[in-house]
Amino acid sequence: MSKKNDKDSAEELVIQYLKKNKNLFLDYPELLDVLNFPSQIKGSGKIIDLNAYRSKKIKNDYDQIKKQMSKILKAGSSHIASQKRILKTSLKVLNTKSLTKLIDVIVSDLGPLLACDIVNCFFTNSTLKHTGLSQIDNRIASSYFRDKPQTNLNQSPKGIPLFFPNKSKLIKSYLLLKIVYGSDRFIVAMGSKDINKFTKDQKVDLVEYLIQVIQIKLVDLN
C-alpha cells in the first residue's frame, strides 16, 4: 500500500471517529489551541467562526486567571492584616504584669481579634477567681481537643449549649481555643452568628501562635 493511501486511510479513521464523538472538543477544549482551522466553516445553513470561538475561550481563560489572582492578592492582604493584629495582641500579652491582667486580655481581646459575636472563657479549676471566667470540668474540656491539641473547629452541635449556654440559639459556628496552665486549662469559646465564619478546614496557624505566646507568659507569671 502506498504512503498516500496510508495517509488517506488514517485521515478517514480520524474523520469517522470525530463524527461519532461530537463532543470531543467540548471535553478536550485544549485541542483547539494546537489545531489549525479555516476562518469559517459553512454547512447546514450555518456559519461557525472558529477563530471567534477560540478568542472567546482565551478571554474566558484570562478572566478566570484574573479572578484567581485577585483572590490570591486579597487573601495575602488579609493574611498580612491578621499578622499585624496577632502581633499587637502578642505584645499586649507579653507586657502584662499579673495573672489577673493576662486573663483580662484573654477575656477581652481575643473576641475582637477574630471579630466574634460572643466570647466565653472557661477554666478547669475553681481556685482561680475572675469575673470573666466560668468553671468547666477538665475531662469534658479535654474531650473537645482529641484531634488537635490547641484548637477545635469541628462544629459539634453538642458544644453550642455547653460553651454558649445563654446564647445557644444565636451561634451558627464557633472556634474553641485551649490554653494550658499547669495541670489546668483555659477554654476560650468564640462564637459567631455567621455559619461561614468558622469552618472545619480553616487555617489557625496564627491563632495557635498566639496561644503559644499566652502559655509562655503564663509560665513566666507562675
Q: Is residue 204 part of a domain?
A: yes
pLDDT at 59: 65
pLDDT at residue 114 in the model: 82
Task: Specify the CATH number for the domain of residue 106.
Answer: 3.30.450.40
Q: Are 190 and 119 in contact (CB under 8 A)?
A: yes
Q: Helix or strand or coil: residue 41?
A: strand
Number of domains in the chain: 1
Examine residue 152 and state whether it is found in any structural domain, yes or no: yes
pLDDT for 83 equals 79
pLDDT at 121: 93
Q: What does the H/E/C string look like for 133-146?
A: EEECCHHHHHHCCC
Instruction: Establish if 51 belongs to a structural domain.
Output: no
Instruction: Give me the domain span that covers residue 115.
Output: 89-221
Q: Give me the count of residues in the chain.
A: 222
Residue 152 DSSP SS3? strand
Average pLDDT, the chain: 80
Domain membership of residue 133 (yes or no) is yes
Query: DSSP state, 168?
Result: T
Residue 148 confidence (pLDDT): 72
pTM for the complete prediction? 0.62
Distances (CA, A) of 193 to 1, 36, 92, 183: 77, 56, 28, 33
Strands of 35-167 (E only): list them. Answer: 41-43, 46-48, 118-123, 133-135, 151-152
Query: What are the per-10-residue average pLDDT scores of the chain (222 residues)?
Result: 60 83 72 64 55 65 62 56 80 88 88 87 89 90 85 90 89 93 91 90 86 88 78
144 CB-near residues (< 8 Å, 6+ apart)? 152, 154, 156, 159, 176, 178, 187
Confirm whether 155 is domain-assigned: yes
